[in-house]
């Protein structure tokens, strides 16, 4: 498995899955969520409304993940996950780790070979980008080393696609300092 850290627009990535830092309503919002909904087209909103009518009438819980088609995106699928909101008192790193782990599990279930993540919860939800990066890298490595999950996954590439240069620099520094980075 390869981990890449890129500065750019996640909606343009030619990967099998992009991860949406969604809100629990799944009906679009600002930031990454709004950008993904705009790029995917109205079909994504309709697919999310369908999920709300059927299996998720109360919305997607924090730390959970669910997949839809990617519609007009280069990515075949979108995995939606709801990150914890520090401003709302959701400060447990396990909730954040769950977003990454459950997204990887969903992508594996789809047979995806590549996935791109944003900095889940690092924006308006108030988490420090360095902590998000550390939790994300730990979650990816834990998934990969877990028997029956990552070890049997078709995933070959995990990208972290960050919109700001500052966040990209923070993720790169955290990756270089993390165990198993090869640095």
Q: Which helix (H) or strand (E) holds 167?
A: helix 165-177
Is the CA virtual torsion 14, 95, 22, 152 positive or negative? positive
166 annotated active-site:
no
CB 105 within 8 A of CB 149: yes
Distance from CA of residue 136 to its chain's centroid? 9
Annotated catalytic residue within 4, 9, 33, 166:
33
Q: Pinpoint the alpha helices (H) of 16-111.
A: 31-40, 42-53, 93-110
Cβ-based neighbours of 50, under 8 Å, separated by 6 or more: none
Is residue 97 within 8 Å of residue 138, measured between CB atoms?
Answer: yes
Q: CA torsion 16→21→25→29, rounded to 10°? A: -110
| Active site residue ranges | 33
């Amino acid at each position: 498995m390869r981990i890449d850290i890129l500065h750019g627009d996640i909606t343009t990535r030619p990967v099998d899955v992009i991860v949406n830092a969604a809100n629990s309503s799944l009906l679009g919002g600002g930031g990454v969520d709004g950008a993904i909904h705009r790029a995917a087209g109205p079909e994504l909103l309709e697919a999310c409304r369908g999920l709300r009518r059927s299996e998720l009438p109360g919305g997607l819980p924090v730390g959970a993940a669910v997949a839809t088609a990617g519609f007009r995106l280069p990515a075949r699928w979108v995995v939606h996950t709801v990150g914890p909101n520090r401003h709302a008192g959701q400060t447990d790193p396990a909730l954040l780790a769950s977003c990454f782990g459950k997204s990887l599990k969903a992508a594996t279930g789809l047979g995806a070979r590549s996935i791109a993540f944003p900095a889940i919860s690092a924006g308006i939800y108030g988490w420090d980008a360095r902590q998000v990066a550390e939790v994300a890298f730990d979650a990816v490595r834990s998934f990969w080393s877990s028997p029956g999950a990552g070890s049997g996954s078709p995933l070959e590439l995990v990208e972290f696609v960050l919109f700001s240069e500052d966040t990209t620099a923070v993720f790169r520094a955290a990756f270089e300092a993390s165990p198993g980075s090869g640095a």
